[in-house]
Copies of this chain bind each other. A is one copy, B any other.
Amino acid sequence: MLISDLTEAEIIARIQSRLQPPPDWLLVGIGDDAAVVEPERNRLEVLTVDALVEGIHFDRRFTPPDAIGHRALAVNLSDLAAMGAEPRLALLSLALPGALACADFDAMIAGLAALAAAHRLHVIGGNLTESPGPLVLDVMVAGTVKPRQALLRRGARPGDAVYVTGTVGSAAAGLEMLKSSTTEVTDTLRGHVSLCVRRYLYPEPRVRTGLLLARNRAATACMDLSDGLADGARQIAAASGVGMRIDAAALPIEDEARRWFDAHGGDASTSAITGGDDYELMFTVRPNRTGRLAAALRHGGGPITKVGVCTEGPDVTLVVGARDTPMPRGYGHFR
């Protein structure tokens, strides 16, 4: 059965059946002209939107539908994480090709709904339309943060240490593996044999780390690495008016990713930091706040690695051996 065999009401019912029961702050949910929500007291609101477009951000030939749904929400949760915000609600705008199989649609929604439930985020509404071309998932999320606790990009100062969560380059390696693999290999990879492929398909946004950093005021600046570490370093440096030196030898690169990059003729460090899709956080910490950082992450903040230091600037460099080299350009949309 194809999505074009269903009415709009039937598609909405299929989505609703996969959502958690509505929270008490949702006064009017799906089914009216708009949703009505009671704001959380004494909190600021953090809002962002991100789109996944077929052919640009994913390839349906090797991205299982549940991963498409998972990633569409994960990229947004990662933005909330980077702000230190607690996820609250999402609006879902879908442009669906008529030939999309209903089973694939259901799996896509299930992937998104599972991640939403894990982060206690509620889908309060959205929009459905046909697409004459690609499948497009546009997700708007809102979260909350206490006044003066939002993590911005602009607070880094010379001397601050630069940290990243998790590993860098895993998702980029995973994507390359998927692109180069035959159908059979892909099926094996879907069984999560490859850590890198799993990191690409099912990124885990660092929501908890962001929350802990915000509450503890341990970080001076923070952003997510959706477009890779090289891009993140440049962005924080530019927003904060500092330079940055990143130590290639300190980069947390998964063994599997390093082997893949080495085997495919690339420099592992460069490949790892120019590849996007990691959805890890980069953040900066004043030297006298290292204790505060340790305290912040004691309760399940996940692995972090110090990868560099902020300088007077303005150069952003990658230190390879003892030599400063210009930070490579990261992935960019458009020109």
Contact = CB atoms under 8 A, between A and B. Distances in A.
A99 to B, nearest CB: 12
Contacts of A46: 34-37
Contacts of A48: 33-35, 91, 125, 127
A38 B62 CA distance: 42
Interface stretch (A6-14, A191-199, A298-306): A6-14
Contacts of A32: 83, 152-154, 223, 239
A89 B48 CA distance: 12
Interface in A1-44: 3-8, 11, 27-28, 31-39, 43-44
Nearest to A92: B49
A266 interface: no
Q: Most chain-B CB neighbours within 10 Å: which of A4, A31, A32, A127?
A: A32
Which interface class (under 10, 10 to 19, 20 to 34, 35 or more) fits A? 35 or more
Main secondary structure of the interface of A (DSSP, over half): strand
B37 A95 contact: no
Copies in the complex: 2
A70 B103 CA distance: 36
Given A47-B37, A51-B129, A5 B335 contact: yes
Interface string A56-74: 1100000000000000000
A270 interface: no
A130 B334 contact: yes
Interface in A94-131: 95, 98, 124-131
Interface of A: 3-8, 11, 27-28, 31-39, 43-51, 53-57, 79-80, 82-83, 85, 89, 91-93, 95, 98, 124-134, 136, 138, 140, 142-143, 145, 150, 152-154, 222-224, 239, 332-335
